[in-house]
């Protein structure tokens, strides 16, 4: 029997517990109990058994406004705001669990807000920066204020629910990090800052003596346009290598197009070319800051050794903070 609790309603899904992946299957470990307050019904709590069926319905308030706390966590947890890709969010959850515990029993507890409408809005925003390799049209820039407000609502909800810190395992969401985190009473970790600090602490040696440490960043147009990876890396003293226009138009964008067509081989080959171009420009390592491209290369690909997954740094930094602050009880 899986003791798992989730809230499912038209605009938001919230999961309280831990998600673990093994080579053969995925499963959810025991969740940490929460105190549910008596409130007017507008959503449903569902308990899932081992067969995946749901039962024991319990109404809870609408969470989309971010107001109030429909439940209070007993013991602190990590608050997670989902982004463009549900798969990427689940990947972060697995990392959070696996990095904090070998068996998943004493892993870091979490509360996840995953909103399908927010995912759709983020995807539309990201695609507004996407220019086809055969198109000369200028990028359309969508109004991002609804996205910012939704992200803030999720942050306020998680903050009021008693989480000890908040993370956004989504690259493009960090385009509005300052607006989302402003006024928050708990730490909101910045994924690019976590990566930059880890690289600084690693005390890397440059490819050539006397030359600067150079870190490449490969991402979508929307993430690169936001500029936060470049800013955070430069703050730590790194030179930053970004793909030039030709690389974006002839390798990165076509790779995403191939991925959307389910042409995995073509997407992999194009991604390899894009990575090699950055490495030729003397980048020590490359931050692969794209949910679409992160899992394209097989684990045994030699280029993987030169790539950095920002989610690894975000998960490690989160766990480190929780443990150092004595929150994981």
Clarify whether residues 181 and 71 are in a common domain: yes
Whether the model pTM is above 0.85: no
Q: Please, what is the end-to-end C-alpha distance for the chain in angstroms?
A: 24
pLDDT attached to residue 4: 28
Residue at 329 is within a domain: no
Clarify whether residues 111 and 186 are in a common domain: yes
Clarify whether residues 43 and 178 are in a common domain: yes
Which residue did the predictor score with more confidence, 87 or 31? 87
Residue in this structure with the two tokens 């290598």, named with its chain if needed: 241
| Closest C-alpha to 321, from 30, 92, 100 | 100
Q: Work out the angle at residue 173's Cα, subtended by the Cα atoms of residues 29 and 90, and round it to the nearest 5 degrees.
A: 20
**b or e along 195-229 (b: 16 or more beta carbons within 10 Å of the residue's beta carbon)?**
bbbbbeeeeeeeeeeeeebbbbbbbbbbbbebebb
22 exposure class (CB count in 10 Å sphere: 0-12, 13-18, 19+)? exposed
Clarify whether residues 183 and 208 are in a common domain: no
User: What is the number of domains present in the chain?
Assistant: 2
| Closest C-alpha to 70, from 47, 43, 46 | 43
Query: What is the CB neighbour count within 10 angstroms for residue 127?
Result: 17
Residue at 77 is within a domain: yes
Clarify whether residues 18 and 160 are in a common domain: yes
Q: Give the CATH number of the domain where residue 29 resides.
A: 3.40.50.1860
Domain range for 318: 4-190+313-324
Clarify whether residues 236 and 180 are in a common domain: no
Residue at 15 is within a domain: yes
Residue at 302 is within a domain: yes
Query: How far is 242 from 216, CA to CA, in rounded Å?
Result: 6
Clarify whether residues 202 and 180 are in a common domain: no
- Span 152-211, pLDDT tens digits: 999 999 999 889 999 999 999 999 999 999 999 999 999 999 999 999 998 888 777 777
The answer to whether 81 touches 155, Cβ cutoff 8 Å, is: yes
pLDDT attached to residue 75: 56
The answer to whether 173 touches 148, Cβ cutoff 8 Å, is: no
Clarify whether residues 51 and 9 are in a common domain: yes
Residue at 243 is within a domain: yes
Which residue did the predictor score with more confidence, 47 or 159? 159
Clarify whether residues 101 and 250 are in a common domain: no
Clarify whether residues 54 and 153 are in a common domain: yes
Percent of all residues in the chain with a pLDDT value above 90, rounded to a whole number: 48
pLDDT attached to residue 29: 35
CA 90, chain centre distance (Å): 9
- Span 132-151, pLDDT tens digits: 444 444 445 678 899 999 99
Q: How confident is the model at residue 239 (pLDDT cuts 50, 70, 90)?
A: very high
pLDDT attached to residue 251: 93
pLDDT attached to residue 131: 54
pLDDT attached to residue 43: 25
Rounded mean pLDDT, 62-78? 57
Report the mean per-residue pLDDT for the chain: 76
- Span 243-272, pLDDT tens digits: 999 999 999 989 988 988 999 999 999 999
Clarify whether residues 264 and 121 are in a common domain: no
Q: How confident is the model at residue 104 (pLDDT cuts 50, 70, 90)?
A: low
Clarify whether residues 185 and 198 are in a common domain: no
List Cβ neighbours of 285 (8 Å cut-off, separation of 6 or more).
199, 204, 215, 216, 306, 307, 308
């Amino acid at each position: 029997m899986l003791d798992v609790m989730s809230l499912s309603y038209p605009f938001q899904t919230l999961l309280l517990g831990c998600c673990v992946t093994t080579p053969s299957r995925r499963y959810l470990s025991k969740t940490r109990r929460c105190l549910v307050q008596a409130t007017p019904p507008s959503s449903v709590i569902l308990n899932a058994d081992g067969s995946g069926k749901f039962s024991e319905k319990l109404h809870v308030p609408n969470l989309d406004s971010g107001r109030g706390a429909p439940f209070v966590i007993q013991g602190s947890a990590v608050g997670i705001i989902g982004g463009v890709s549900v798969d990427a969010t689940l990947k972060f959850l697995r990392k959070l669990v696996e990095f904090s515990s070998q068996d998943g029993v004493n892993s870091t507890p979490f509360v996840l807000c995953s909103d399908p409408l927010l995912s759709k809005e983020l995807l539309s925003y990201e695609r507004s920066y996407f220019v086809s390799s055969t198109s000369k049209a200028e990028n359309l820039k969508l109004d991002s204020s609804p996205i910012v407000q939704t992200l803030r609502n999720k942050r306020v909800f998680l903050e009021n629910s008693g989480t000890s810190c908040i993370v956004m395992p989504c690259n493009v969401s960090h385009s509005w990090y300052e607006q989302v985190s402003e006024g928050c009473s708990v730490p909101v970790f910045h994924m690019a800052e976590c990566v930059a600090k880890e690289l600084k602490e690693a005390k890397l040696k440059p490819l050539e003596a006397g030359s600067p440490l150079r870190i490449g960043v490969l991402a979508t147009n929307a993430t690169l346009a936001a500029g936060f990876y470049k800013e955070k890396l430069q703050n730590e003293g790194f030179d930053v290598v970004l793909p030039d226009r030709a690389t974006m138009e002839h390798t990165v964008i076509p790779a995403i197009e191939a991925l959307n067509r389910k042409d995995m081989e073509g997407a992999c080959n194009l991604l390899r070319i894009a990575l090699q171009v950055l490495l030729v420009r003397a980048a020590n390592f490359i931050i692969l800051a794209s949910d679409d491209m992160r899992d394209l290369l097989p684990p045994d690909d030699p280029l993987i050794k030169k790539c950095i997954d920002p989610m690894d740094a975000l998960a490690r930094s989160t766990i480190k903070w929780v443990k150092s602050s004595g929150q994981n009880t």
